[in-house]
Amino acid sequence: MDNTEQYLTVTALTQYIKRKFDVDPYLGHVYLTGEISNFRMRPNAHQYFTLKDDKAKISAIMFKGAFNKIKFRPEEGMKVRVRGRVGLYEPSGSYQIYIDSMEPDGLGALYLAFEQLKAKLAKMGVFNLPKKPIPMFPKKIAIVTSESGAVIHDIMTTVQRRYPIVQLVLFPAVVQGDVAAATIVERLKQINEIGDFDTIIIGRGGGSIEDLWPFNEEIVAEAIVQSKIPVISSVGHETDTTIADMVADQRAATPTAAAELATPVLRDVLQHIQDLNSRLYVAQNNLLSNYRKQVQKYSQNVFLHHPERIYQVYLQNVDMLENRMQQAVSRQLNKHKEELWNYENQLVRLSPQGQINLDKNYVSNYVQRMNMTITSMINNKRNYFSKQAAALDSLSPLKTLSRGYAIATDDQGKVLKKASDYQKDQSINLRVVDGTITAVTKDISEENNG
């Protein structure tokens, strides 16, 4: 007979095993070393990945609060050391490690974070951006550092010795600890908003890499790069180098060096001004002396004593040029007159007036001869015409009609010459000397002349 009470559900078994994990003191505090695998960065969220070695692997989770505390960025294949607890995830029945802290294995976390940020900024080209020049004669300098440290004292002492006329304004900032980076960024933004500063000095004294870490934060580097006012960075001692030093417009090894970079030596400036003043005075005197010599030289010029001599030469030249001009004009006029005279002679020799007169006589003779010829021709034609008219008149039918003859025509105007042209009872027209008579044929008889 089956006893179902001996069988557990999967949930019951999983809960049992989970309690075993939770109460096991060895699993509550576990220290592991391994290689990160399957890591995909999830911004502002929990991180899920795998830790593995040559023979095994374990799922890992690192909640957002713990992950935000680490100083470096985990990467695929990076070997790390972690601390956490091992527990069971009930929905899948798989065990995993819940990581509370992580650091690189064999390399300091802060040093790794420093190298990672340096590589990131280099890839972005931040280190190659043009540096803003530091003003040579500042009127107002802002200092971002701790108000209780030795930095502000060293800067004030140096500036007082070198350039006491500049105004120093301290913007107190926390330079160590978790809130230091945000404080430094806030002070830089505040200075830029005020805007009437010539230079910013940012720094602190020496210390470990943990002490100097705020100056290796990305937000501080970004604030320095975005500053419109030139920034001199002086963090730590000469051997210490931070990201702030790399992105600043000028890096100083010590606060004293920063003050020296930000200010000139007033005594040297005044001495330089005096030297320039002396050089200017000597140069001005030399210039005036040269001008005096030139004036004296010019004052001895004969033309200044006898200014009329200046234009006498030009008057003589004018007279000479005037004579040359008159001579040239005369020669030109004479040349043109001679040419005109030659043309006139040629024109007289070649004048058509004589030929015109000859042609006129010739034409007149021809006109007379033509008139005589035409008159003769007309008389001849007139006589010929009279003869022809007389002959024609003698042959004219009208002349015949006047002798008593008549011309017979039919209705169509056809002249009827023969007896055969007539028909009996035909109406005919008889043309007589003084008119036309209409008649009708009664009888037709033909004469035989044969």
pLDDT at residue 173, rounded to an integer: 92
What are φ and ψ of residue 213, in 5° steps? -60, -35
What is the DSSP code (8-state) at residue 34?
Answer: E
Flag whether 154 is in a domain: yes
Domain boundary (245, 264, 283) is at 264
Q: Are residues 138 and 77 in the same domain?
A: no
pLDDT at residue 106, rounded to an integer: 62
pLDDT at residue 260, rounded to an integer: 92
- pTM, two decimals, is 0.48
Classify the phi-psi angles of 35: left when phi > 0, otherwise alpha if psi is within -120 to 50, otherwise beta.
beta
Flag whether 252 is in a domain: yes
pLDDT at residue 138, rounded to an integer: 94
Flag whether 98 is in a domain: yes
Q: Residue 138 sits in a domain of what CATH number?
A: 3.40.50.10550
Domain boundary (92, 107, 122) is at 107
Task: Tell me the average confidence (pLDDT) per consecutive run of 10 residues in the chain, 450 residues long.
Answer: 73 88 87 87 90 88 90 81 90 91 73 80 89 93 90 91 93 90 94 94 82 87 94 82 90 90 87 88 90 82 69 75 89 90 81 78 88 90 86 71 78 79 81 82 72
Q: Are residues 211 and 257 in the same domain?
A: yes
Flag whether 341 is in a domain: no
Q: Are residues 173 and 239 in the same domain?
A: yes
Q: Are residues 228 and 143 in the same domain?
A: yes
Q: Are residues 91 and 196 in the same domain?
A: no
Q: Are residues 143 and 244 in the same domain?
A: yes
Q: Are residues 137 and 260 in the same domain?
A: yes
Flag whether 290 is in a domain: no
Instruction: Calculate ∠ Cα 281-285-287, nearest 5°.
Output: 115
Q: How many domains does the chain have?
A: 3
Q: Are residues 8 and 90 in the same domain?
A: yes
What is the DSSP code (8-state) at residue 24?
Answer: -
Q: Are residues 93 and 172 in the same domain?
A: no
pLDDT at residue 303, rounded to an integer: 66
Q: Which of 222, 212, 206 is nearest to 177 (CA)?
A: 212
Flag whether 338 is in a domain: no
The answer to whether 263 touches 232, Cβ cutoff 8 Å, is: no
The answer to whether 244 touches 202, Cβ cutoff 8 Å, is: yes
pLDDT at residue 449, rounded to an integer: 57
Domain boundary (48, 73, 107) is at 107
Q: Are residues 136 and 252 in the same domain?
A: yes
Flag whether 13 is in a domain: yes
Residue reference for tokens 């500042």: 138
Q: Are residues 257 and 201 in the same domain?
A: yes
pLDDT at residue 105, rounded to an integer: 76
**For residue 33, what are the contacts with CB-CB under 8 A and spacing of at least 6?**
79, 80, 81, 82, 105
Q: Are residues 143 and 101 in the same domain?
A: no
Q: Domain containing 90: what range?
A: 4-107
Flag whether 36 is in a domain: yes
Exposed / middle / buried, residue 389 (Cβ in 10 Å: 0-12, 13-18, 19+): exposed
Q: Residue 8 sits in a domain of what CATH number?
A: 2.40.50.140
